[in-house]
Structure 1
Amino acid sequence: MAQFNLYDSLIDLSMIKSYCREKGSLCLYAKEEHFVQQGEVGKYLGVVESGYFKYQVITSSGKEAVVGFAFEGEIVVDFYNSYNRCPSEITIKAGSASSVSQIRISEARELINTTFDGNLSSLNGILFNEIYVRYLELYRKTPTERYIDLINQYPQIFDIVSLRDIASYLLITPVYLSRIRKIIAINTGE
């Protein structure tokens, strides 16, 4: 699948990924097992070797809402909170049986400081930009446009992620997602 998190292609993370793979531990996560629990300080940074992880928040009504993903070859971490030793605002859990080459966040902190010479402004700027663009698209685009963008950029996502989680990520209900898919299928003759 194409790179889902754009920051991964805008920042050279190869040294961090190599370090995780060479010096880290390969850990297996069962579907729904937590990598980071909301309210706790994250302990690890890792590279997803197989499967995927979903980033979730708990809404005011107590429901889980998907706000992001990390797929094979991508970094999985609640970067800001883990790096700064703050309780996480999100839960990161395996969306399927998954494996991660992971290192302790203390190791990651040292590695990141060395890799970026203690200057995290470029890293933070790229992470902020990705979040900001997503935020603006929630206002700029209709749910149908966001869905079309998602399937055009990541056509395999439906082979990996459940419809419920994709709907949550798009901020729509699964029923509405099914309607969008049906209308598109009718309009394209599929």
Structure 2
Amino acid sequence: MEEIRLYFVSEFGISPPDWDIFSSKLTLHHYSKKSVLLNKGEVENHLSFVEKGIVRLYIPQEDGDLTFGFVFGGAFVSAYDSFITQTPAEYVVETITDTVLWQLNYKDLQEVYASSAIGNLIGRKASEELFLKKSKRELSLLRDSAEQRYLNLFEERPELIRQIPLKYIASYIGITPQALSRIRKRIS
């Protein structure tokens, strides 16, 4: 829990009393590789902070999954649209590696909002972080070539990208695994 506390101190300047309120609502969860955190059609009930690991968000399809997000350690993950509307998710949230999450459920987050000075700031920061990731991805899909999208992903977390199967990376950047293989060959 120390890693998440340090994150909240550096990002929000959280006071000890506010940290006590917030941390009392967090639960630690360890997930093995390929654990489904949320299935399509389920309602997201958690806002999670990834302490360690990689999480993938994807739309399951018969002819291959459409990966649209990766979340690495030190960031929030959630099927956030489902979380804030409390309606069924349109996609799956799954771990790619062994993953450690600190989770806060919807009801407890509402209590944190109501009972601490920092609660709304934490909620806003989490939603801003998730929105910026979504916006960055959308802009990249519209503006960048597949090769540039691959390089951008590789630049973000080169030490972790090696842990993501190439078929997921290909899906994320919107190409086939064979096209990704050609890109990788060209830039090496």
TM-score (norm 2): 0.76
CA-CA distance at 1:133 after TM superposition: 3.3
Does the aligned pair in 2 maintain the 1:56–1:92 contact within 8 Å?
yes
1:16-41 Cα distance to aligned partner (Å, 9 max, x none): 99877554222121222111111110
2:150 maps to amino acid: Y
Query: 2:148 aligned to 132, 137, 145, which one?
Result: 145
- Structure 2 counterpart of 1:110: 111
Unpaired runs of at least 5, structure 2 = 1-6
- Higher alpha-carbon deviation: 19-28 or 29-38: 19-28
SS in 2 for 1:177: helix
Q: Indicate whether 1:169 and 2:172 are aligned.
A: yes
Unpaired runs of at least 5, structure 1 = 1-7, 186-190
- Structure 2 counterpart of 1:94: 95
Q: Indicate whether 1:39 and 2:24 are aligned.
A: no
SS in 1 for 2:158: coil
Does the aligned pair in 2 maintain the 1:20–1:102 contact within 8 Å?
no
- Structure 2 counterpart of 1:74: 75
Q: Indicate whether 1:55 and 2:22 are aligned.
A: no
- Structure 2 counterpart of 1:28: 30
Distance 2:76 2:182 in 1: 33
Q: Structure 1 residues 176, 148: closer, same or farther in 2, change over 3 A? A: same
Distance 2:107 2:186 in 1: 49
4+ long deviations beyond 3 Å:
12-23, 122-130
Distance 1:33 1:173 in 2: 24
RMSD: 3.3
Q: Structure 1 residues 140, 78: closer, same or farther in 2, change over 3 A? A: same
2:144 maps to amino acid: K
Distance 2:105 2:185 in 1: 45
1:131 maps to amino acid: K
Distance 1:62 1:17 in 2: 46
CA-CA distance at 1:126 after TM superposition: 6.0
1:27-68 Cα distance to aligned partner (Å, 9 max, x none): 121222111111110122221222211111124x45311111
Q: Structure 1 residues 84, 17: closer, same or farther in 2, change over 3 A? A: farther
1:67 maps to amino acid: F
SS in 2 for 1:160: coil
SS in 2 for 1:156: helix
Q: Structure 1 residues 131, 76: closer, same or farther in 2, change over 3 A? A: closer
Q: Structure 1 residues 87, 18: closer, same or farther in 2, change over 3 A? A: farther
Does the aligned pair in 1 maintain the 2:57–2:69 contact within 8 Å?
yes
CA-CA distance at 1:106 after TM superposition: 1.3
Q: Structure 1 residues 179, 25: closer, same or farther in 2, change over 3 A? A: same
